[in-house]
Amino acid sequence: MAKKKSSFDKRIVVTGVLVALSVIILYLGCAIEVLDLTMSAIVSLLVVVIVIEMGYKYAWFAYVATAILSLVLLPQKTPAIFYTCFMGFYPIIKSHVERFGSALVRWTIKLIAGNAALIAMFALISIFVPDEFEGGWILVGTYAIGLLAFVMYDIALTKLITFYFVKLRDRIKIYKFLK
């Protein structure tokens, strides 16, 4: 008689599959260089699904595994850097921050996280892609655009999370598989 898989086993399997899918999607960002940021954002949606369906522990595991694998395996590091420095962990942090009552407190924490992520991203880019930012004004402009993109990303992520709950969750039914 076949033994029924435990919920823990199912969660590990789903997390592993989503990590593998994440690395493949980030690889597509390498293959089509204009999509490096887009593919990183798409992969962050997989982290959202993990947070919702399996919890923070699995989401952190998926983030770390995807970050390490993408930094090691991808031939072009930009999508991996975007994911590692910002888009991979931000959905996990966002879910914690959204619990605060005051919008001012939430946005203050989010902007601190966004600024820290941008600084880390610029540091990693300067290590892996040293010729990316040669001029000072380019760096300042890129930083300002990055901060604006962060705010837009946060708003879009909120809308996509709502879309997942309203339209997709009952169609995908990951939560039923995990029982």
Please report the pLDDT score of residue 7 as a whole number: 81
Please report the pLDDT score of residue 135 as a whole number: 61
Cβ atoms < 10 Å from Cβ of 174: 17
Please report the pLDDT score of residue 10 as a whole number: 85
Please report the pLDDT score of residue 36 as a whole number: 84
Please report the pLDDT score of residue 1 as a whole number: 44
What Cα–Cα distance (Å) separates residue 155 from each residue in 13, 91, 94, 97, 160?
31, 12, 11, 14, 9
Euclidean distance between CA atoms 16 and 6, whole angstroms = 16
What are 94's two structure tokens? 């966002």
Q: Decide if domain 7-177 falls under CATH 1.10.1760.
A: yes
Can you give the pTM of this predicted structure? 0.84
Euclidean distance between CA atoms 26 and 2, whole angstroms = 37
What are 12's two structure tokens? 């590990």
What is the residue extent of each domain of the chain?
A: 7-177
pLDDT averaged per 10 residues in sequence order, the chain, 179 residues: 69 92 94 86 92 92 96 90 89 91 91 88 73 66 85 93 89 78
